[in-house]
């Protein structure tokens, strides 16, 4: 089936509102029904469901400059000249949990799951913005399969026999961590509680700023998670069961033999306090086989499931009718689609099955 009643646009010009009463009558500005006036994610409640809010430019640059938004969505953000996220049930549910959490107890772990393209990545983006607003220290891995499938460089580990280091990927992650948390860490004035010796000439002494430790070693930073006297709450997005990295003998290495993954696996345990772990499982993250189910039990395998158990599963479904209507209205407002005939919404709903990614692809530029 071809969609002939949708004209795709490549640019957007701000909408001009005209009064239909008289030519000289004052124009009354009415807020769009598909937007919420509440821009602070900490205040997002069920009343704002299905509505879009705008992530400020400076916040987007700080949080997502080095990853965290799907590439196709980033193109849309550039075209629309704004980063708008829809307030959806999974994110609001986790925010409500966090607002009732006793952070003196072991960390709660939430696992997002759902069909391909249902919106798990943007739900994580919404929660990252919430964490940023609440002054959480974010420990965020945008897309773990990049390490497992497309490692930039490998090297034999000098500290763990038979393991491999990913030096360039580790350095890139440190840049990402510093970009997200640098201003907050400077404000909090967090310091390290013991000496770290890197070489005979290079050390990080106790009492040095935490950012000085960031410059030296990602592993020491994460394994020292309990050293900040409760000032550190974390959002964590990670798990991946396979790798395409080969040893010198052409043997495929398992994730537990990659030193970069070890600190992140440690931090997703529930043996620490004053934080939260938010993870996502995704069929697209698998290196080889195509899993029939999107449920965590299948995607994590037994080892991963036992590693995270107990956790709170949060399902991310495709758009409901209200969310679908808001998305269509947003595309119309951005002049991304233009309806030439009635009924185009029904046709797009059938073709996309109300899947957010499929709908975005159907409405994308030619």
- Least confident piece of the model among 35-39, 193-197, 288-292: 288-292
Q: pLDDT value at position 287?
A: 57
pLDDT at position 14 over 60:
no
The mean pLDDT value for 346-355 works out to 93
pLDDT at position 222 over 50:
no
pLDDT band at residue 278 under the 50/70/90 scheme: very high
pLDDT at position 112 over 70:
yes
The mean pLDDT value for 20-45 works out to 68
How many residues does the structure list for the chain? 366
- Is 51 exposed, middle or buried (CB count within 10 Å of its CB: 0-12, 13-18, 19+)? buried
Mean pLDDT in the chain?
80
The mean pLDDT value for 2-22 works out to 38
pLDDT at position 18 over 70:
no
The mean pLDDT value for 134-161 works out to 84
More confident residue, 14 or 310: 310
Which tokens belong to 276? 């939260």
pLDDT at position 32 over 80:
no
* pLDDT tens by residue, 185-195: 888 887 877 77
Which tokens belong to 340? 């030439």
CA 161 to chain centre: 33
Q: State phi, psi for 83 to the nearest 5 degrees.
A: -110, 105
> pTM for this one?
0.83
Q: pLDDT value at position 12?
A: 42
Euclidean distance between CA atoms 132 and 178, whole angstroms: 13
pLDDT band at residue 302 under the 50/70/90 scheme: confident
pLDDT band at residue 288 under the 50/70/90 scheme: low
* pLDDT tens by residue, 49-108: 999 999 999 999 999 999 889 999 999 999 999 999 999 999 999 999 999 999 999 999
The mean pLDDT value for 220-237 works out to 41
Which tokens belong to 197? 């010796």
More confident residue, 166 or 252: 166
- Least confident piece of the model among 56-60, 156-160, 220-224: 220-224
Range ranked top by mean pLDDT from 82-96, 154-168, 220-234, 276-290: 82-96
The mean pLDDT value for 109-127 works out to 94
Annotate 174-219 with three-state secondary structure: HHHHHHHHHHHHHHHCCECCCCEECCCCCEECCCCEHHHHHCCCHH
pLDDT at position 25 over 90:
no
Which tokens belong to 6? 């949708």
The mean pLDDT value for 332-341 works out to 82
Euclidean distance between CA atoms 112 and 159, whole angstroms: 34
Q: pLDDT value at position 97?
A: 95
More confident residue, 49 or 153: 49
Q: pLDDT value at position 64?
A: 93
The angle subtended at Cα 70 by Cα 182 and Cα 59, nearest 5°, is 30
The proportion of the chain whose per-residue pLDDT surpasses 90, expressed as a percent, equals 39
More confident residue, 112 or 33: 112
Euclidean distance between CA atoms 342 and 360, whole angstroms: 20
Q: pLDDT value at position 122?
A: 95
């Amino acid at each position: 089936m071809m969609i002939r009643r949708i004209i795709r646009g490549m640019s957007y010009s701000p909408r001009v509102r005209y009064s239909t009463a008289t030519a000289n009558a004052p124009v009354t500005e009415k807020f769009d029904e598909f937007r919420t006036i509440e821009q602070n994610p900490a205040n997002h409640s069920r009343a704002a469901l299905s509505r879009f809010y705008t992530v400020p430019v400076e916040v987007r640059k700080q949080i997502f400059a080095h990853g965290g938004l799907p590439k196709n969505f980033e193109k849309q953000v550039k075209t629309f000249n704004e980063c708008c996220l829809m307030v959806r049930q999974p994110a609001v549910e986790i925010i409500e949990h966090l607002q009732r959490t006793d952070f003196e107890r072991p960390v709660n772990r939430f696992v997002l799951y759902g069909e391909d393209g249902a919106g798990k990545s943007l739900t994580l983006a919404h929660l990252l913005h919430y964490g940023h607003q609440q002054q959480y220290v974010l420990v965020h891995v945008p897309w773990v399969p990049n390490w497992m499938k497309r490692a930039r460089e490998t090297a034999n580990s000098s500290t763990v026999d038979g393991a491999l280091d990913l030096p360039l990927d580790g350095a890139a992650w440190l840049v990402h961590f510093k970009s997200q948390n640098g201003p907050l860490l400077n404000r909090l004035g967090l310091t390290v509680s013991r000496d770290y010796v890197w070489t005979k000439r290079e050390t990080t002494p106790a009492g040095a700023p935490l950012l000085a430790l960031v410059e030296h070693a990602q592993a020491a930073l994460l394994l020292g998670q309990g050293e900040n006297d409760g000032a550190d709450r974390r959002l964590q997005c990670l798990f991946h069961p396979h790798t395409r990295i080969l040893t010198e003998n052409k043997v495929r290495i398992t994730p537990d033999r990659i030193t970069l993954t070890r600190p992140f696996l440690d931090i997703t345990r529930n043996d620490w306090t004053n934080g939260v772990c938010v993870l996502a499982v995704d069929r697209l993250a698998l290196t080889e086989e195509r899993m029939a189910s999107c449920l965590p039990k299948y995607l994590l395998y037994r080892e991963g499931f036992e590693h995270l158990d107990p956790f709170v599963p949060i399902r991310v479904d495709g758009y409901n009718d209200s969310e679908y209507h808001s998305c269509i209205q947003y595309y119309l407002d951005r002049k991304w689609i233009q309806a030439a005939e009635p009924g185009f919404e029904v046709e797009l709903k059938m073709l996309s099955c109300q899947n957010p990614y499929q709908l975005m692809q159907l409405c994308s530029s030619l």
